[in-house]
Structure 1
Amino acid sequence: MWQAEHVQALLQARGHTVQLLGMTTKGDQILDRSLSKVGGKGLFVKELETALEEGRAHIAVHSLKDVPMELPPGFALACVMEREDPRDAFVSPAHASLAALPQGAVVGTSSLRRQVLLQALRPDLRIEPLRGNLDTRLRKLDEGQYDAIVLAAAGLKRLGLESRIRATFEPADMLPAAGQGALGIEVRSDRQDLVDALAPLADQTTWLTVAAERAVSRAMGGSCSMPLAAHGTFTSGTLQLDAAWGDTEGRLPLVRAQASAPVTTLAQAEALGLAIAQRLREGGARGAEPAAPQA
């Protein structure tokens, strides 16, 4: 809702009339299992796409890391907005940092990416599942179910909860997810009028960066069922892209890859992402198996 209200305010400031259609999704409702076991991040967008298809809604505002890498036919990503802090945040009432946690401490996250990166930093920790909205996750922490939890810094900052952040992970230690911290706006692909109206909200640097990140995940067959991280940074027209893949069973070492290239177009951004995915595979990362053909 914060995201939708944020976009509403920006569009209204430009003279548009905007009404909110509040919805919940299966991703919001299924809280007793990890996303990787119940259908993935697409659970957060399907109901919104149905509302677009039926004409009940005209635009859908998403946290981009929750948007599947391939949109269904008839839909388009019309706008990617300027990115908030893409990093992960360490949240704990009693411990100042990950390094300060005692041996065997319980850390909550349902992200396979965070799980493998935490295990690489602190193999002794117990990583336990954590689902629910932000308030629910913080309540479970405060009740003592966890010694610490790891959340996206962007969500805490947007909801005025930045004071709960005890430490922020630098990407070198905890590489963010593809698209983390960025908002994407989805429309029906035949609505060029909406694409034009949303154009002033777009941030080209963010769009190019997340396009490269998402290309890594797409090439690896990535979803929330894959422990994959991808994060890009722009410097003077050159995009540096870092990625990491881990084995949730702990049998294989963490695989990292890095490359940089001048990027001014989406095609160049995606090409860099494909090159990184290839380096991950060459380093031992395992992509998702292609789906079996339908009988």
Structure 2
Amino acid sequence: MMRLIIATRGSKLALWQSNHIKSLLEQMGHEVELQIFKTKGDKILDTPLALIGGKGLFTKELEEAMLRGDAHIAVHSLKDVPTELPEGLVLGAITKREVVNDAFLSEKYESIEDLPPNAVVGTTSLRRRMQLLHYRPDLQIKDLRGNVDTRINKLKNGEFDAIILAYAGLKRLGLLKSVQYVQKIDDNLMIPAMGQAALGIECVPEVLDIVKKLNDERSQIETIVERDFIEVLEGGCQVPIGVNAKVLENGDIVARAVVGLPNGKELLKDKVFGSVENYQELGQELAQSMIENGARELLAEAERIAFKD
């Protein structure tokens, strides 16, 4: 068995994810070690991600380590992985998905509905901002950067009335009871990000046969639909997009998406149905339907006004 090196970021969540995959690989009989790298997204904490510059904010340095031969594998939150990978690397596996919903956290209020007028909510995600303000245009949305602990501490220190995080990250870190109120947000109210709650394992081709054993077929199908949608729509983190595909018990798939303006004043939603047999067409079909209804024009306007409204 070859010795495998996993390139990882140093945040608690990134280390949990990498150690989780390390454990699975060790159970398969491999010797595995972690090497920690800092990414651009980790270094710049005072600027909204959408203004730093789109693709690969949390993956580029890990990819460079693999291309140099310093590592074989990188474990990412799949929502951070661009749809185009560098030449010489492959997306070897997509792990079984956690709960895909976003989560509402507050020390004082039980839900979004309970927030008083002009309450301050923390998120730097344009997708979350858009959907929150569409539902509650009276809210004040303020930027929230940093790792999960930092964000929760800012909430506890009274900088925000509530914050929005991914439910999966809270669950993985055992933080669901760290705040007085933690509520899963209905995914019809807030459609998740592409790939949310799944781990994407990027690797050099030499270890693909090892890595692909960790793949979860259902999660792979769902997230390929979502990634195809993003690729056709040509949308990155600089524009507000939500997309989520679900494989239903009967083998059908429903894929839903939302695009709009960061201020929530204009929103375009759509959904398509298909089956597992035609899943490779579904993301493109949903994107084309939304393009015909003006999605590209809406996203161009969204990029123009992002963080300026």
Say which of 232, 247, 254 aligns to 1:219: 232
1:115 aligns with 2:115: no
Cα deviation, residue 38, structure 1: 0.5
CA contact (8 A) 2:245 2:254 kept: yes
Residue in structure 2 matched with residue 8 of structure 1 by the alignment = 22
Residue in structure 1 matched with residue 285 of structure 2 by the alignment = 275
Tell me how large the CA RMSD over aligned residues is: 1.3
- Structure-2 change in CA distance of 1:52 and 1:43 (3 Å): same
Residue in structure 2 matched with residue 149 of structure 1 by the alignment = 163
CA contact (8 A) 2:65 2:71 kept: yes
Structure 2 residue identity aligned to 1:273:
G
Cα deviation, residue 55, structure 1: 0.8
Structure 2 residue identity aligned to 1:180:
Q
- Structure-2 change in CA distance of 1:229 and 1:146 (3 Å): same
Cα deviation, residue 281, structure 1: 1.8
C-alpha distance in 2, partners of 1:10/1:82? Answer: 13
CA contact (8 A) 1:27 1:41 kept: no
SS of residue matched to 2:165: strand
C-alpha distance in 1, partners of 2:77/2:159? Answer: 27
C-alpha distance in 1, partners of 2:29/2:258? Answer: 43
TM-score (norm 1): 0.92
C-alpha distance in 2, partners of 1:202/1:186? Answer: 12
SS of residue matched to 1:257: strand
Structure 2 residue identity aligned to 1:243:
A
Cα deviation, residue 199, structure 1: 2.3
C-alpha distance in 2, partners of 1:175/1:249? Answer: 16
SS of residue matched to 2:33: coil
Residue in structure 2 matched with residue 65 of structure 1 by the alignment = 79
1:124 aligns with 2:124: no
C-alpha distance in 2, partners of 1:279/1:131? Answer: 34
SS of residue matched to 1:166: strand
| Aligned pairs, number | 282
Runs of 4+ in 1 over 6 A off after TM superposition: none
Aligned residues with identical type, % of pairs:
44
C-alpha distance in 2, partners of 1:72/1:11? Answer: 24
- Structure-2 change in CA distance of 1:95 and 1:227 (3 Å): same
TM-score (norm 2): 0.88
Residue in structure 1 matched with residue 97 of structure 2 by the alignment = 83
1:34 aligns with 2:45: no
1:133 aligns with 2:147: yes
Residue in structure 2 matched with residue 286 of structure 1 by the alignment = 296
